[in-house]
Structure 1
């Protein structure tokens, strides 16, 4: 059985959804027969490449609210993340264009490390305050999970895997996803958003029985 997950690296709900899926799989008796594949998506594809802004300032401008209002709004997300063992640090998180980071996840996928790099990049951005559009940072993070540094440098210096990222995003829209996280089980069942663990458990059982 295959679970495809469309997700963006800077998306706090995506990381929460990732943990909830993993928790559901941990209690699923057929988890060994489930393949999870991470797909690319950009929440804000128009965000300028090379630009970076603190998340509170970015959200305040986007919503028209104050930084204090945004901080209060994101406290709920932080609390939900904490329940999943994720210590979000929005004070340090930087909003960036994630296209190059996603290109690198496709290189990692070619090495069988797509899930590992997706996890590492999310942690870097949402918890550690790293800029996941900086080439040297991306190479270092990729190398940490086993992606050869020379290959990562080569990919980031050109446009390799750009079409793969674009194809993932296009496919998500064709499947009806306007946001992420978006989970598709065996191309038959969809779970939109960071649903409770129970919802993933039900979806896994349903898809497995159908398969």
Structure 2
């Protein structure tokens, strides 16, 4: 019996390419799941803060943030946003940068570790990314995060306690330390079975191909 392929996804809920990469990964895994010998896969989301020094209440829009963070003009920032909006549409996501509230994401990452403990990490990851990129929700605020946790099937008061206690912050920092050890400096970044690294929001076909390849390799080694 071959063990499931483990895919660790380093991402940030405030990263537009991470949401696209997540959707493409899901589509690729769905495609491979139709194979006669379908790969068994376990996906875990890991914490990565693109901009840990961002304040909870950032003054300005996403173009302002990009211009400041990347040192580019506002016109260039708008061009980048237009490009990623088009790519997102191809993945079935309608980005609303006109509504987006840029914020610090460390509390969202803590909540994702709480959700992982409760077996609801995938549901919360989708809910947080959708809320951030398509609904203009403020993910730096505790009440908003608790509400979204409830949407994802988690107990709201337990989620609030998890945020207020800070007990999942060490897990966030451990993910970040592992990313540094791997040399990850941009997300999304996918680590397959701890030995293959895939950078960026690859197309769905690429994810389908790699899980099929790894599954075949695992089968071959199991037969030796």
TM tier relative to shorter chain: over 0.9
Equivalent residue, structure 2, for 1:94: 101
CA offsets, 1:159-185, max 9 Å, x none?
110000000011011112111101111
Equivalent residue, structure 2, for 1:118: 125
| Distance in 2 separating the partners of 1:182 and 1:13 | 10
Partner of 2:214, secondary structure, is helix
Equivalent residue, structure 1, for 2:91: 84
Cα RMSD, aligned residues only: 1.4
Q: Give the counterpart of 2:24 among 20, 23, 37.
A: 20
Question: 1:24-63, aligned counterparts within 5 Å?
Answer: 24-28=28-32, 29=35, 33-48=40-55, 50-53=56-59, 54-63=61-70
Aligned CA distance change for structure 1 residues 209 and 177 (closer, same or farther; 3 Å): same
Aligned CA distance change for structure 1 residues 11 and 31 (closer, same or farther; 3 Å): farther
Superposed displacement of residue 141, structure 1: 0.2
| Distance in 2 separating the partners of 1:210 and 1:198 | 18
Equivalent residue, structure 2, for 1:188: 195
User: Contact (CA 8 Å) 1:41, 1:168: kept in 2 or not?
Assistant: yes
Partner of 1:187, secondary structure, is coil
| Distance in 1 separating the partners of 2:71 and 2:41 | 43
Larger Cα-atom Rg: 2
Partner of 2:102, secondary structure, is strand
| Distance in 1 separating the partners of 2:202 and 2:140 | 28
| Distance in 1 separating the partners of 2:28 and 2:185 | 24
| Distance in 1 separating the partners of 2:188 and 2:71 | 25
Equivalent residue, structure 2, for 1:10: 14
| Distance in 2 separating the partners of 1:99 and 1:161 | 10
User: Contact (CA 8 Å) 1:7, 1:180: kept in 2 or not?
Assistant: yes
Matched, 1:156 2:160: no
Equivalent residue, structure 2, for 1:205: 212
User: Contact (CA 8 Å) 1:25, 1:31: kept in 2 or not?
Assistant: no
User: Contact (CA 8 Å) 2:39, 2:215: kept in 1 or not?
Assistant: no
| 4+ aligned runs moved over 6 Å, structure 1 | none
User: Contact (CA 8 Å) 1:8, 1:41: kept in 2 or not?
Assistant: yes
| Distance in 1 separating the partners of 2:73 and 2:48 | 28
Unaligned runs of 5+ in 1: none
Between Structure 1 and Structure 2, how many residues are aligned? 210
Question: TM-score scaled by structure 2?
Answer: 0.89
| Distance in 2 separating the partners of 1:5 and 1:65 | 28
